[in-house]
Structure 1
Amino acid sequence: MARPGSRFAGRRLSPARLALSVVGVLAVGGALVGASMLPAMQAGVPGDASAGQWFASYYDVTLETGGQLARSPLGTSTGGAVLAFVVAQADDVCTPTWGKAYSLDDAAKTFELDRRVERMRREGEPLAASFGGSANTELAGACTTVPELTAAYRTVMDRYTLDVMDVDIEGDMLANVAATERRAQAVASLQNERRMNGGSLDVWLTLPVAPSGLTPAGLAQVESMLSAGVTLAGVNLMTMDYGTDGTIAMSSLSIDALQSTAVQIQDLWRAHGLALPDGGVWSLIGATPMIGVNDVKGEVFTLDDAAALNAFAVEKGVARLSMWSLTRDQTCGSNYPTLHIVSTACSGIEQAGVSFATVLAEGFTGTPSARPVTVSDGDVIEDDPATSPYPVWSSQTYYSEGVTVVWHGSVYVSKWWNEDGSVPDDPRIDTAGSAWTYIGPVLPGDVPFALPQLAPGTYPEWSSTALYDQGDRVMLDGSGYEARWWSQGKSPARSVLDHDYSPWKLITGP
């Protein structure tokens, strides 16, 4: 069983998938049997390297809720990143959320997702959104009509100005026939809508795989999309969690899975009378390993596996490589001794300073849509305390670590306590030396910054002459404050931006 909160929490390998496993399967009592039971792999499909190949890590936007996530990079390659996962608010509520933990508005407020996405768009870095995953309810399961589901998908894609959609179908959703049909029709509807409006929507279908290829349920997902008229950009294989004992290299299992699936996809396209792309069937194939320790005990995807998978993908012209996940691409710290338990924050293996992203992305220089990425400065919104989403920076104010400000139409977060330093956008200072980290531009829809207000008379008004002890509560300009230690004549207003040395703290809740 996966560690709660991990990428594959609660995931189980289906009997069908186990039956397709390289080390074999099926046998008495459903237990794994020896590799001698291995079904024969289908013949390989030739291919050639392609300039359009792209790499992008999956990025779980729900892992952090504070400054760390706000300061994290999203793009690690020319392919950018795949934001994961959009799911339904509840089993019967057709409202898109990020991992069920955050509404789209919550994500904008809590970790600046809208702002960071807009920054990447303006800097020409591509992004895709992934719907589904192994946990929670995919939108097609919660939305009961095609128009309702189409609207939910549209809400996400339009909000973040995205033209690449990744649909990750796993677990029970693979066998949900009604949801499968709704999903295919809704995706087709949205894709046609984009085309009619002069736009584009590239759709990737992400599915579990065995070394002998897609399961019947996975093939049914591809069949459903094609039958509904969806133009698939490709099928992305989750090359992970095969159910083996770890004696066979993960890269070997993954390459077998790619070879077998290529034959299946080639046959499906022919059956539907569809021409293969110029690069052949490999231009319709992607692979996503789970880096480091996998959820199946004993299965470890190493840096050598990454190099082997990359070499195969480059040679064949595999359209896409991804990985789960960006936040796991580092060696675990010494305070995390249980390396056999999958962590969302590290790979579980010693990487010696080498990143999986760098190895997997070697030779992959394209973008997800293969369309030119437009770099745009966008509109710079004038700094105005009355309209800015955060206080406007001032050289005469103290700022604690994690405090957010606006300067020259951009939003910055402080890296350490500072006062009377260089302006946040000082071009003479490199990123490491600056006290500020750029998050993204001020957006037209930003809500003006305002302190939480309390009902008049909730607490006594603050007085510059009164003596206050720890725990005392006061009000100033309608906001509440609580004393952290003894003070007199120290205005509570300073605590809004200086959390370290002010004797007061802002009351933000009941």
Structure 2
Amino acid sequence: MSSRFDGRRLSVPRLVAVLVVFAVVITAGWIFVRNERDAAQARSHGSPWFAGYVDVTATPTYAFEAETGEGSESAVLSFIVAADPQSCTPTWGTAYTLDQAGTDLDLDRRIERLRDQDRDVVVSFGGLLNTELGDACTDVQQLAAAYEQVIDRYTLTTIDLDLEGEALKDPAAMARRAEAVAQLQTEKRADGEELAVWLTLPIATTGLTEDGTNTVAAFLDAGVDLAGINAMTMNLDAENDLAAAAEESLTSLHRQLGILYDAAGMHQGPASLWTKIGATPMIGQNDLPQDVLTLDDARRLNAFARENGVGRMSMWSMNRDRTCGANYPDTSVVSDSCSGVDQGDASYAELLSAGFTGTPDDSAAARTREEAAEAVVEDDPETSPYPVWNEDSPYTAGSKVVWHGNVYIAKWWNQGEAPDNPVLQDFEAPWTLVGPVMPGETPAPKVEIPAGTAPAWDGQSVYEAGSMVLFDGTLYVARWWTQGDSPEGAYANADSSPWRALDQDEVRTVLAGGSPSDGGA
């Protein structure tokens, strides 16, 4: 039977091209499906919500139940703590038992009035100044009963555990706390009720502290389905740009959460992780005199949170959301009842809540589900702008490599340290992520060093700081006076070696007539 293809041979290059296109299409389709699943998981967490913290026991009393305008819809009432360091009795700031708060503060009545307006209440346990119940109650069942007493009295679907100071430092108390909360959450869900759990933790621009990551791990290990981690984006020593520092801290937290959930066997995609992040700035004057969250900072932080899909926005505190009066002259000292900033007609609650249209109650039913992990990118030396990382190669500070589709730069000498090792604290990682390999990139041409550019290293010669030598085809510059020290030692111990290898950019500078000191000798 004849065919219109009779006599034609299969073109190998054409077949290879077809297979490459097919692989790209399949990969792109898989990535699209994965990203859609991640987006769907993120949407299942409900609309992001805003609720400002209210210090229940502070004077003057803040009327959280009154409708005061945009941004005041929901409230995080704080803080439930132990009556004393050895008591398992929940109180409001040690000043009122639950019954006393109902009588003296009309708290139950005010909460119901707020709910009659279709607004919501979250209760926060802990804070910095008193003893969190998990530290005071030494029995898991008694601790669970203490938490449940508060949850049931105020019909809560969302709780907030503000853990800082001493509450972060006792592993046994943390394990007890996590076990009690896991037990309560399981029981509530079995009864058809919801209990969303947020951890509110201190943060720096580098992310959570080691105590903070240990806290998250303890709750995940206990089986708590965390609604999210609320970062206290305050007192960041930001040098007049608190919004930028807060954004950096949230980005670091996003990276850390990815590692923590992977370690718990519950991989989450990027969008899902953002829904598990909350931000709580301290409005106006912070405790550090140099840190002031301006109105513009609030706008910028809100825009960053909305762009990335942050799940929650709060602030400390609603009590402080107003301009200080003339009788409070030193606004650099933090006040419990005003912001220390001339707010004019603006409110921080209105600025920070913009676009956060959900409520805590709406999101309480969300469940965390494991997502498919991202496919590992295979690096191609033919298309990588820098050498592909090799575990046997030593790398000096400033070296750039490609690994799993990303470019990294070495912070110090290292060998055998994969650039994408899941390190929770950034200071432990010898590599900094620069960004992804871009389409169409090719290897940067290696600079050939012409003969005579520098003398060959001689073990008998004396070299002053700034002297250049050629050794095994690499240019080195002396960091200080040296004789008899081989440049090869720079790879074994970069800090103690008197020699530093020049990178490709520095070699170009030298060949153009510049000095190696231009690259940082």
TM-score (norm 1): 0.61
Retained in 1: the 8 A contact 2:157–2:364? no
User: What residue in structure 1 maps to residue 340 of structure 2?
Assistant: 348
* Counterpart residue type for residue 212 of structure 2: G
Following superposition, the deviation at residue 61 of structure 1 comes to 0.7
Alpha carbons 2:323, 2:340 under 8 Å: kept: yes
The residue type equivalent to 1:62 in the other structure is: T
Distance in structure 1 (CA, Å) of the matches to 2:261 and 2:240: 31
- Residue 203 in 1 paired to residue 197 in 2? yes
Q: CA deviation at 1:110?
A: 1.1
- Mapped to 1, the partners of 2:351 and 2:160 lie a distance apart of 23
CA distance in 2, matches of 1:332, 1:291: 13
| Residue in 2 that maps onto 1:58 | 53
- Cα drift, residue 367 of structure 1: 1.1
* Matched letter for residue 217 of structure 2: E
- The alignment status of 1:192 with 2:202, answered yes or no, reads no
Aligned to 1:323, the other structure's residue is in SS state coil
Residue deviations 1:397-425 (CA, integer Å, cap 9, x gap): xxxxxxxxxxxxxxxxxxxxxxxxxxxxx
Query: Within the alignment, does 1:115 sit opposite 2:101 as a pair?
Result: no
The one-letter amino acid paired with 2:301 is L
Change (3 A) 1:90 1:73: farther
2:80 alignment partner, one of 64, 67, 86: 86
Question: Is 1:176 aligned with 2:178?
Answer: no
Once the 2 structures are TM-superposed, how far is the Cα of residue 234 of structure 1 from its aligned partner? Answer: 0.3
User: Is 1:329 aligned to 2:345, yes or no?
Assistant: no
Q: Pick from 277, 282, 288 the counterpart of residue 285 of structure 1.
A: 277
8 Å CA contact 1:69, 1:111 repeated in 2:
no
What is the alpha-carbon distance in structure 2 between the residues aligned to residue 340 and residue 99 of structure 1? 26
Instruction: Return the offset for 1:120.
Output: 2.1
Change in Cα spacing, 1:278 to 1:309, as seen in structure 2 (3 Å) is closer
Flag the 1:78–1:337 CA change in 2: closer, same or farther, 3 A: closer
Aligned partner letter, 1:174: L
Q: Which shows bigger deviation, 48-57 or 83-92?
A: 48-57
Structure 1 CA distance for aligned equivalents of residues 178 and 109 of structure 2: 31
Given the alignment of the two structures, is residue 161 of structure 1 paired with residue 155 of structure 2, yes or no?
Answer: yes
Superposition CA RMSD, Å: 2.3
Quote the offset at 1:140 in angstroms.
0.5
Q: Which residue of 1 is the match for residue 293 of structure 2? A: 301
Query: Counterpart in 2 of 1:465?
Result: none
Structure 2 residue 243 is matched with structure 1 residue 251: yes
Residues 90-117 of structure 1: per-residue CA shift (max 9 Å, x gap): 0001100011111111111111100011
Describe the shift of the 1:305–1:107 C-alpha distance in structure 2 as closer, same or farther (beyond 3 A): same
Q: Does 1:134 align with 2:134?
A: no
Structure 2 counterparts to residues 401-412 of structure 1, below 5 A: none
Residues 347-394 of structure 1: per-residue CA shift (max 9 Å, x gap): 001001100000001111011132599xxxxxxxxxxxxxxxxxxxxx
Task: Work out the CA distance in 2 between the residues paired with 1:177 and 1:270.
Answer: 21
Partner of 1:274: 266
The residue aligned with 2:252 is 260
Change (3 A) 1:314 1:193: same
2:226 is aligned to: 232
Q: Tell me the equivalent position of 1:152.
A: 146
SS of 2:333 mapped into structure 1 = coil
> Matched residues in 1 for 2:116 and 2:65: separation?
17
- Alignment match, 1:366: 358
Q: Does the aligned pair in 2 maintain the 1:58–1:324 contact within 8 Å?
A: yes
Q: Distance in 2 between matches of 1:106 and 1:370?
A: 30
Query: Which whole-Å CA distance do the structure 2 matches of 1:199 and 1:136 have between them?
Result: 30
1:18-37 mapped onto 2 (5 Å cutoff): none
Q: Displacement of 1:306 after TM fit?
A: 0.4
| 8 Å contact from structure 2 (residues 64, 75) kept in 1 | no
| Post-superposition offset of 1:274 | 1.1
Q: Secondary structure at the match of 1:370?
A: helix
Aligned CA distance change for structure 1 residues 65 and 144 (closer, same or farther; 3 Å): farther
CA–CA separation in structure 2 for the residues paired with 1:350 and 1:119: 31
1:71: Cα distance to partner?
7.2
Contact 2:321–2:339 (CA under 8 A) maintained in structure 1 = yes
Distance 1:116 1:273 in 2: 42
Corresponding position of 2:214: 220
* Distance (Å, rounded) in 1 between the aligned partners of 2:289 and 2:313: 24
Q: State TM-score, norm by structure 2.
A: 0.60
CA 1:107 to 1:267, structure 2 compared with 1: closer, same or farther past 3 Å? same
Give me the whole-angstrom Cα distance separating, in 2, the residues matched to 1:74 and 1:153: 30
What residue is the counterpart of 1:407 in the other structure? none
* Unmatched runs of 5 consecutive residues or more in structure 1: 1-45, 374-510
Within 5 Å, give how 1:403-482 maps onto structure 2. Answer: none
**Count, aligned residues:** 325
State the alpha-carbon separation in 2 of the partners of residues 215 and 355 from structure 1.
31
Identical-residue share of aligned pairs (%) = 48
- The structure, 1 or 2, with the larger RCO (C-alpha pairs under 8 Å, 6+ apart) is 1
Q: Distance in 2 between matches of 1:104 and 1:84?
A: 13
Using the TM superposition, give the Cα deviation of residue 123 of structure 1 relative to its aligned residue in structure 2, in angstroms. Answer: 2.7
1:120–1:95 distance in 2 versus 1, CA, 3 Å:
same
For residues 71 and 188 of structure 1, do their structure 2 counterparts lie closer, same or farther at Cα, with a shift above 3 Å needed? closer
The structural deviation recorded for 1:77 is 3.8
1:339 matched to 2:334? The reply is no
Which letter maps to 1:194?
K
Three-state SS of the structure 1 residue aligned to 2:125 is strand
Distance in 2, Cα, partners of 1:105 & 1:278: 44
Structure 1 distance, partners of 2:264, 2:68, is 37
